[in-house]
Structure 1
Amino acid sequence: MNVVINGEISHAPRGSEPLTGQGDYFLNILLALGYDPDYPPLGAWLEKYKALEGKWIIATPVHWEATHNDAMLLNTGKECGLDDKLSRIWFAEVSQFLAQDGFSLVYVDSETWLLGVDGKPDIHSRAVKHVLHQSLMPALEAMDASMYWQRLFTELQMFLASHPLNSNPALAASVNGLWFWGGGDLSEEPPQSIVTDDQVIRRIFPGSLPVNPLPGVDREALWILHENNTTLIDTLAKTARKYQVHWYWNNIACRTYPRRWWSRLWRR
């Protein structure tokens, strides 16, 4: 049983074992749905979640450095000093630059920009968090056989590095590139039953169940909780006490086993 919660928790439940989460509500959902965390189809997911049309991938503002015969991504988004206000400024500049090549962009948050790629070559690119602080060459080489995306990556680096914003002390953020990722297709039907309070997900997957009234607990089900409702989570924990459960908060992921851990979950 998997539970994805759009919120944070101060500490993992006592007796739980750590899991590798994705640190993000949507990415945790895709992980729980069985998608490869290296290549999550986040663009296709957000296309449905935002009710867009066409084909989309993710563009994430990054800071990277070139070394002798190699390159490395060092920081993304907020780690580059990029808050929402400054990200929107950069977004407007990049949108204007990429419009010359027929791209359209949609702003999601400071680290997530949607890039429309209808008519563009397919891209095979790892999630940005999975390529930080390591050789970038294997990821770049695998991105696109036509070299279209590699050339665009280089062109954007030149545009951003020389942009006046990067020399403005009042606005400067260490952004000198965009990493493209999140391609791939999304299955029409989920591999397991879904229970959720997220009305958009109920639209995406019409067969999903609401949390109210609380349905019977299926050990194979995926629970997706958009609201970090501690009362509901506590009730769910008690109801699912017979099962092994994988929990995914935005800051902690863990596995719990059939035991009386739930009574201590919210104690400080």
Structure 2
Amino acid sequence: MPTVNPPVKSPMSLHFVISYADWPDSDQCRFITTGLDLPAAALLCGRGERLPAHKQTVEAWLAGRFGMAHLPSAALTLGLDQPAAKAGFWLRADPVHLKIERDGLLLFDAHHFQIAQAEADALVAGLNSVFGEDGMLFVAATPTRWYLRLPADPQLVWTSLDAAIGRDINTLLPKGKDALQWHRLLNEIQMYLYTHAVNDKRSDAQTINSLWLWGGSDYPVLETPVVPGLPVYADDLLLRGLMHIGGADVQPLPASAAALPDGDALVMLDHLRLGACYGNAHDWREGWLALEKNWFAPLLADLKSGKRKSLAITFPELGLALQTDRSLRWKIWQKPKFPWDFAPG
């Protein structure tokens, strides 16, 4: 029987979830955000009522919101990419480029290179010819989303791709009883990819010289997520996967709050993701400016005009959740405040 968890109540009817709002170094954050003009965001946050929250990854937040013990990441996206996939233990095995730099062996995902489906298929066919006899099955569902089916769950702890990109991988490799065996396997995979004909035709900066294994989980997912009883707008694949196995759909994210229909909704905004993951301060700042222009400013105008009565905003990585309504117009004693200036929940 599927496991059904109790529903998790959303703090408000119109709820915005903004991931990767936390810049890990506070001194750098102060420098990076100097002169950043976010008047609507600061007013919405500064005059909002704080709700209980604690610092967590957006993946952990999603698991809690949907009533699941943990997020079965590989299985969630596999259900979208290959719904007829064979049951078993699956990993994401995404193609990456590893580069030796001063800070170590840094990982770059597919945002830093291009790969065609034909190239992905050729690389995966080669991997299956070498490692298939060990019961492994590699699948290139898309050029950039690959999977690996294993004979059994190796009981390891995997690091998500988002937590690895732009970072030295040496401390992020699989952990657990048989971790060293898997480190050796990754080395063998890297050696094979290095000599593959596909990589012979690619520049050194564009070689697919490793895979990143993460999100290990059983497919199909036996837990039934508790989906929100309201429209959901997002581009996030994990959220789409949760809604899919819960029997509901995700609406495409509109370009701005002005294009968002009236009424209740859960909206996930990931404008800050790549800047935060790669430690790119310019892109992170640009993400905030896009959020201000397209989301915070229109939402503030809607609250002031009465078009919208209330809204909630959650920043999972900051441990910050707020709700506000039209009364913010009169709370002149509450000063505007940036999200990163709040003490963690």
- Which of 223, 244, 248 pairs up with 2:312? 244
Identity of aligned residues (%): 20
SS at match of 2:127: helix
| Compared CA separation, residues 151 and 255, structure 1 to 2 (3 A) | farther
Residues 51-70 of structure 1: CA distance to partner in whole angstroms, max 9, x if unpaired? 332221100111114579x9
What letter corresponds to residue 235 of structure 1 in structure 2? D
Residues 97 and 107 in structure 2, CA contact (< 8 A), matched pair in contact too: yes
Partner of 1:86: 119
Residues 88-130 of structure 1: CA distance to partner in whole angstroms, max 9, x if unpaired? 3323333333323211233332221121123251231111221
Q: Return 5+ residue gaps in structure 2 as ranges.
A: 1-9, 19-37, 45-56, 234-239, 264-298, 328-345
Partner of 2:128: 95
What's the RMSD between the two structures over aligned residues? 4.4
What TM-score do the two structures reach when normalised by structure 1? 0.62
Partner of 2:72: 41
Partner of 1:160: 193
Residues 77 and 83 in structure 1, CA contact (< 8 A), matched pair in contact too: no
Q: Return 5+ residue gaps in structure 1 as ranges.
A: 6-12, 19-26, 209-223, 249-253, 261-268
| Compared CA separation, residues 162 and 234, structure 1 to 2 (3 A) | same
Residues 63 and 71 in structure 2, CA contact (< 8 A), matched pair in contact too: no
Partner of 2:97: 63
- Which of 231, 234, 237 pairs up with 2:261? 234
- Which of 176, 196, 200 pairs up with 1:144? 176
Larger Rg over CA atoms: 2
Runs of 4+ in 1 over 6 A off after TM superposition: 27-30, 197-200, 237-240
| Compared CA separation, residues 240 and 174, structure 1 to 2 (3 A) | farther
Cα drift, residue 227 of structure 1 = 3.0
Cα drift, residue 134 of structure 1 = 2.9
Residues 42 and 183 in structure 1, CA contact (< 8 A), matched pair in contact too: yes
SS at match of 1:195: coil
- Which of 87, 106, 109 pairs up with 1:76? 109
Residues 151-170 of structure 1: CA distance to partner in whole angstroms, max 9, x if unpaired? 11110011011222222259
Partner of 1:119: 152
SS at match of 1:183: strand
Residues 190-234 of structure 1: CA distance to partner in whole angstroms, max 9, x if unpaired? 35634357998666225x6xxxxxxxxxxxxxxx63334678723
Cα drift, residue 174 of structure 1 = 1.5
Aligned pair 1:188/2:188, yes or no? no
Counterparts of 1:48 and 1:169, CA distance in 2: 31
| Compared CA separation, residues 60 and 194, structure 1 to 2 (3 A) | farther
Whichever structure has more helix as a proportion of its residues is 2
Partner of 1:204: 245
SS at match of 1:72: strand
Residues 193 and 209 in structure 2, CA contact (< 8 A), matched pair in contact too: yes
Residues 144 and 150 in structure 1, CA contact (< 8 A), matched pair in contact too: no
Cα drift, residue 177 of structure 1 = 0.6
Count of residue correspondences: 221
Cα drift, residue 172 of structure 1 = 8.8
What TM-score do the two structures reach when normalised by structure 2? 0.50
SS at match of 1:43: helix
| Compared CA separation, residues 4 and 47, structure 1 to 2 (3 A) | farther
